[in-house]
Chain A
Amino acid sequence: DTEVTQTPKHLVMGMTNKKSLKCEQHMGHRAMYWYKQKAKKPPELMFVYSYEKLSINESVPSRFSPECPNSSLLNLHLHALQPEDSALYLCASSPTTGLLYNEQFFGPGTRLTVL
């Protein structure tokens, strides 16, 4: 299994809702990532988990809350989002962090719309 899966594919939520994005991989990768991609822009890193511990938080607002319950799963909990948070949210994984292993495998993304 060489896939990163993400659910849901599409999500529409109001600014007062609480929702979660889910990401799963079964490649034995120990590093997992959340990226945000706006239209016509490159993906921007949000969070990095390494061995289920949060390694990097790129100054992401607290309305985004990541969680790594185990080495295969990565969640992104969303609460009180703003319309400008509408974007494609990409999950990725790599065997580990570190230079020689940073070929990240991406999921298809969740298209989030905040009304």
Chain B
Amino acid sequence: DQQVKQNSPSLSVQEGRISILNCDYTNSMFDYFLWYKKYPAEGPTFLISISSIKDKNEDGRFTVFLNKSAKHLSLHIVPSQPGDSAVYFCAAVNNSGYALNFGKGTSLLVTP
């Protein structure tokens, strides 16, 4: 049973524009959310996180928004760059603090 869902398997965006990657979750016990980026043949790389007590966290070109009532979060990348092309995984942690529950990932392609 997938508790973290990324319903868009792929997204294509032009360089310089905004990329918006979406993630929904079903478990209201999730307290902490993370985004990971994965290039082929590499392990996931931590990108940005947000605690459930916040609704926004920003780090350079990356901003994560959390809507707890809708159980929805999104990652905004602006401006998008070709080097951002990768698979982006949304992950959530429940209050036991152990396991990362991953979504299936969204493959982002940023075209020049």
Q: Which residues of A contact B (CB under 8 A)?
A: 4, 6, 40-45, 48, 55-56, 58, 90-92, 97-109
Main secondary structure of the interface of B (DSSP, over half): strand
Q: Out of A40, A98, A99, A105, name the residue touching B46 (CB < 8 Å).
A: A105
- Residues of chain A with a CB closer than 8 A to B31's CB: 99
- Residues of chain A with a CB closer than 8 A to B42's CB: 108-109
- Taking a contact as CB atoms under 8 Å apart, the answer to whether B98 and A104 are in contact is no
B102 interface residue per 8 A CB criterion: yes
A39 to B65, CA, bound (A): 29
Q: Tally A-B pairs: CB < 8 A.
A: 62
Q: Known A43-B44, A108-B43; judge A102-B100 contact (CB<8 A).
A: yes
Q: How far apart are B45's CB and chain A's nearest CB, in angstroms?
A: 7
- Taking a contact as CB atoms under 8 Å apart, the answer to whether A102 and B97 are in contact is yes
Report how many residues on chain B are interfacial, defined by Cβ distance under 8 Å: 24
Could you write out 16 A-B pairs with CB less than 8 Å apart? A6-B43, A41-B104, A42-B104, A43-B102, A44-B102, A48-B98, A48-B99, A90-B44, A99-B93, A100-B32, A102-B98, A103-B34, A103-B49, A104-B46, A104-B100, A108-B42
Q: Out of A42, A48, A90, name the residue touching B105 (CB < 8 Å).
A: A42
